[in-house]
Amino acid sequence: MDILCVPHAKLGYTIVALLADKSSVISEIFPYYSKIKHEAMCSFRPYSCPYAGSECSVTGDIPYLVNHLRDDHKVDMHSGCTFNHRYVKSNPREVENATWMLTVFHCFGQYFCLHFEAFQLGMAPVYMAFLRFMGDENEARNYSYSLEVGANGRKMVWEGTPRSVRDSHRKVRDSHDGLLIQRNMALFFSGGDRKELKLRITGRIWKETQTPDGTCVPVLCS
Give the chain's residues under pLDDT 50.
1-2, 4, 6, 8-21
pLDDT of residue 179: 96
- With a CB cutoff of 8 Å and minimum separation 6, the contacts of 193 are none
Domain extents in the chain: 6-41, 57-219
Pairwise CA distance, residues 12 & 16, whole Å: 12
Confirm or reject CATH 3.40.630.30 for domain 57-219, answering yes or no.
no
Specify which residues 150 forms β-bridges with: 155
Amino acid at 182: Q
pTM of the full structure = 0.80
Instruction: For residue range 189-212, list pLDDT tens digits in order.
Output: 988 777 889 899 999 999 977 677
pLDDT of residue 54: 73
Report phi then psi at 127, rounded to 5. Answer: -120, 150
- Among 170, 164, 93, 104, CA closest to 132: 164
Instruction: For residue range 162-195, list pLDDT tens digits in order.
Output: 999 999 988 999 999 999 999 999 999 988 777 8
